[in-house]
Amino acid sequence: MSERFRPIGGRLLTPHFYFLGLLLLIAAWFIAKRFIFGIGAVSNLSDGFPWGIWITYDVVTGTAIACGGYAMALMVYVFNRGQFHPMIRAALLTSVFGYTLAGASIIVDVGRWWQLYNVFLPQYMNLNSVMLEVALCVTLYTVVLWIEFSPTILEAMQAKRWLRNLRHFLFIAIGLGILLPTMHQSSLGSLLIIAGDKVHPLWQTNIIPLLFLLTAITMGYAIVVFESLYASVNLRRPLETPLLSKISAVIPWLLIVYLVLRIGESVISGDILFLFRGGSEPLLFMLEVALFVYVIRNLRDEKQRVRPTVLFWTSLAVLLGGALYRFDAFMIAFDPGPGWHYFPAVGEMMITIGIVAFEIMAYLFFVKMTPVMMVGLGESGSAVGLSGASSGKRPTATASDRLSGQTRGEGGFPPRAVTSA
């Protein structure tokens, strides 16, 4: 199927790209300051809050958002849904940089970063440590992702011999690419179990590893939908509504299972009573549930699932709900005891913003310069040519055409949905 993937081309150095580059330069300045003067020079981390926004967003939330490759691998290779193979490369691209930059942020976060290599030395390994399992799995999975994505780079380099040799062993990487996220995404939840009563009872539960895994898979499907719609609007590609509608059909069922488990466990344990004790935690809990109920209500309706606007807002709601769940569990609903408070410093926030900016820049570079995207899947769901037209048929309208009113049809984004690339 590789001959059906092409670089989408177009101008790379746009005002949007330069703005992202500026954010990256600001982040680089704070990163340099961190390594020269120490972690305290740019962060508000403390003994009470040793994990701040770098771990909570860049690692715990960022890797869940980057589970698009994992989620699509489950669908294509485990459940044998080959019709979704055109979405694999774009999903892998978001996963590659999501996990790579999560690993980079750990280097920034660790106090004695120059000793980080000790994690990989057997004589220093604590084989009973959940954190060790997370560190090893995330590191190995990042390598696996680059191997899985390497055919795209080799095709761009026209390295046909390397490509042929790689394909003999690619099935091993695919297998590991399904196993490793299953392990470490659940283990990220296990990290909170050992925190005990420092985590609010509405989030502290023995099934939190399963809840983290379910939300990671759900967020993986959501980012695939969101990324495809982003590319359609900003890069003038045909909407891929038929495939996105089928992918989105899985999301409400995953969320139903998640909500039944989470609310059911809270009822059985009696922790649901904390909803009536005041404070911000009950409101945050209800906001998480409300976001997921909104998604379930809309995506259960087949007529709603074919509307790009609905797909956009529901995928965004899944990402926000999953991110809020992780932020609540790791930071907002985490109470180390009296006297400890935490709010990210400017340096922490700018480093995180810079990492996100770099991820978007890398995404734009690869989709424009390497064969990541399918050669146009139009509304009919069939491949169309580079000009947007299949042989003997009229051109398929792009999402930008829909916004400008040049075509008639159901749905379409509000103009402010995404910024221009």
Is residue 187 included in any domain, yes or no? yes
Neighbours of 411 (CB within 10 A): 16
Is residue 404 included in any domain, yes or no? no
| Residues 263 and 207: beta-carbon distance below 8 Å | no
Task: Please give the pLDDT value at position 376.
Answer: 54
Is residue 416 included in any domain, yes or no? no
Q: Which two tokens stand for residue 270?
A: 């009696």
b/e code 296-326 from CB counts within 10 Å (16+ = b):
bebbeeeebbbbbebbbbbbbbbbbbbbbbb
Is residue 274 included in any domain, yes or no? yes
Task: Say which DSSP state 395 is in.
Answer: P
Q: For the chain, how many helices (H) and strands (E)?
A: 16, 2
Q: What are phi and psi of 6, to 5 degrees?
A: -145, 155
| Residues 383 and 376: beta-carbon distance below 8 Å | yes
Strand, coil or helix: 299: helix
Q: Report CA torsion sign: 327, 329, 332, 338.
A: negative
Is residue 129 included in any domain, yes or no? yes
Give the residue carrying structure tokens 């020079």.
41
Is residue 68 included in any domain, yes or no? yes
- pLDDT tens, N- to C-terminus, the chain (421 residues): 444 777 777 788 889 899 999 999 999 999 999 999 999 999 999 888 888 899 999 899 999 999 999 999 998 888 888 788 888 888 889 899 899 988 888 899 888 889 888 989 998 888 888 889 999 999 999 999 999 888 888 888 877 888 888 888 888 888 898 999 999 899 999 989 888 889 999 999 999 999 999 999 999 999 999 988 888 887 777 788 888 999 999 999 999 999 999 999 999 999 899 988 878 899 999 999 999 999 999 998 888 888 889 999 999 999 999 999 999 999 998 888 888 889 999 999 999 999 999 999 998 998 888 888 776 555 444 333 333 333 334 344 444 444 333 343 333 333 333 333 3
Q: Enumerate the β-bridge partners of residue 334.
A: 199
CATH number of the domain residue 292 falls in: 1.20.1630
Is residue 353 included in any domain, yes or no? no
Domain range for 169:
45-342
Is residue 207 included in any domain, yes or no? yes
The number of domains in the chain is 1
Task: Say which DSSP state 295 is in.
Answer: H
Rounded-to-integer distance, Cα 137 and Cα 187, Å: 10
Which tens digits make up the pLDDT trace of 78-117?
Answer: 888 878 888 888 888 989 989 998 888 889 988 888 988 8
